[in-house]
Amino acid sequence: MEPFGSRLHQALAKRGPLCVGIDPHASLLAAWGLSDDVDGVERFSRTVVEALAERVAVFKPQAAFFERFGSRGMAILESTIRQLRDAGALVLLDAKRGDIGSTMAAYADAYLNPSSPIYVDAITVSPFLGFGSLRPAFDSAALHGGGVFVLALTSNPEGSQVQHARTADGRTVAQLILDEISQLNTGAKPLGSIGAVVGATVGRTGEDLSRTNGPFLVPGLGAQGGDPAGLREIFGDSIDAVLPSYSREVLAGGPTVRGLIEATERSLDACRRALGG
């Protein structure tokens, strides 16, 4: 399959620079007038697909909100992934997996191998066990044309305890991750398939984002306090590689299809203005 970085570049050019989260948490289901159970999650997901599957470039289902309902919740996730991909959208599963050896290889098979029922275009991963521990995910992505987004500079206040810590050579942990990503993306055009997760509220951190040559998944916009207008300050000349991600801001437009479409159009317009596209 064509590399994820190329497919992402094409999708953003066609549908615009926006990733929409699919996060059926209890309070959102209640706001939609839905029950906090499998039926509520199924109706929620079906409405999002109906409204946005053919309009948005990338969707980011949060695995935990489906996993909490066991096998029936996972069946809904599988169906949602399949419907989104059939509609031409890319699916980036927010699973934040991270482990070692055969366990990490099993995660890679689960999400990045086309033979899997929960196969997606890309996943999020955590590098806490060491960047090298993620090698099975990188290898599977390379083999099957998938993408991997590594947590690097997150918006949560606890993240700085690890991400801003200094390594033996003086770099921050975040910079080490960014530099490792850049090595994996060397020579890739128009965009590498290994990306970094960088929160929209991190501001100027001092890290060098310019050599990464991969996409930046940027959560934290809208309800979480991030403003698209501030993205250029964070990413500078790498702004073309930014994938802005909205969840609550868009999903609050439900439960109607029209409401979701209007909320998506507002968010997409804001991102286009900020990114100059």
- Which residues participate in catalysis according to the annotation? 96
Rounded CA separation 175/255 (Å): 41
Rounded CA separation 50/145 (Å): 27
Tokens of 149: 């987004």
Rounded CA separation 259/252 (Å): 8
Q: Which residue has 């209890």 as its token pair?
A: 26
Q: Is the peptide bond before 255 cis (omega within 30 degrees of 0)?
A: yes
DSSP secondary structure code for residue 240 in this structure: G
Rounded CA separation 221/200 (Å): 6
φ/ψ region of 202 (left if φ > 0, alpha if ψ in -120 to 50, else beta) reads: alpha
DSSP secondary structure code for residue 63 in this structure: T
